[in-house]
Amino acid sequence: MTGLRRFARNRLAVVGAVALAVLVLFVLVGPLVYPTEQVATDLGAANLPPGVDGHPLGTDALGYDNLGRLTVAGRVSLLVGVLAGALATVVGTLWGAVAGYVGGVVDAVMMRVVDAGIAIPAIFLLLVLSTIVRPTVGMMIVVLGLVSWLVPARLIRAEALSVRTRDYVVAARAMGATHRRTVLTHVIPNTVGTVVVNATFQVADAILLVAYISFLGMGVQPPTTDWGAMLNDGINYIYQGAWWLILPPGLAIVIVVCALNFVGDGLRDVVDVKGRTA
């Protein structure tokens, strides 16, 4: 059965893929068809409930249209999540492939570094780093990527350990391929299934992490905003029952992270060789 049909058989994965497509369209096209003022404040129109004065989702404490804000904030959340997840995947794959391929003392040292990184909870490390560097969008991507490459490193190392004993790797070495060439053209391509599936989960986790950091007030700074920062602004009005400042950005995060997890599970069905006969 082809990969696409295997993917399509997992209904949740299909739902996830559709939800992702809708959300990406929403944040990319949204500001074009529904342009709103998101820099200059309008205190005369602050804290309006949904539906009043042509604001479908109301306004926040500075008078920003909440629906429009949801789209521009989503751009930041998704951009940081995708690029940080990609960076973590690249660094983790290279690290894990080299450790697993070389083995021995090098492997042991490299994996203790990974263990140590995993022992430091990511949120704590990220908060420390945000106090050291100014959290711009670019900096958030780099910092998040450098904090979350550890899990893919472990997964790819485990794969590389088995791949390096295969005949084609031994043959490549016998024919005089350099270690660098062997790792890049034989070891890593044969772990690509694991890499792709994990990358989906990495992006999901990066989107969650960036929301946590912004919620704690240590993320991207105004006028830039993201979904986590919107929730951080909204919590001050929770006791006035301003649910429209809390539910939309919160649900957006839940939907995008859920969708990525469903898609990741669907992709795993596609690449999982063991499951193919079952």
Applying CB under 8 A, the residues found at the interface with other proteins are 9-12, 111-113, 115-125, 127-132, 147-148, 150-152, 154-155, 158, 198, 201-202, 204-205, 208-209, 211-212, 215-218, 228, 231, 234-235, 238-239, 241, 243, 246, 250, 253-254, 257-258, 261-262, 265-266, 269
The CB-of-37 to other proteins minimum distance in angstroms stands at 26
Residue 264's contacts (CB-CB under 8 Å, 6 or more residues apart) are 197, 198, 200, 201, 204
Look at the block and give the residue holding tokens 């999901």: 204
The CB-of-246 to other proteins minimum distance in angstroms stands at 5
The CB-of-171 to other proteins minimum distance in angstroms stands at 28
CB-CB neighbours of 99 under 10 Å: 25
Q: CB nearer to other proteins: give 131 or 136.
A: 131
The CB-of-244 to other proteins minimum distance in angstroms stands at 11
Contact 187/164 with Cβ under 8 angstroms? yes
Q: CB nearer to other proteins: give 163 or 218.
A: 218
Which residues partner with 59 through β-bridges? Answer: 65
- Written as one string, the DSSP assignment of 177-189 is --HHHHIIIIITG
Q: CB nearer to other proteins: give 102 or 172.
A: 102
Contact 138/146 with Cβ under 8 angstroms? no
The CB-of-11 to other proteins minimum distance in angstroms stands at 7
Q: CB nearer to other proteins: give 28 or 109.
A: 109
Distances (CA, A) of 174 to 177, 184, 190: 7, 16, 19
Q: CB nearer to other proteins: give 2 or 174.
A: 2
What is the widest separation between alpha-carbon atoms in the chain?
A: 76
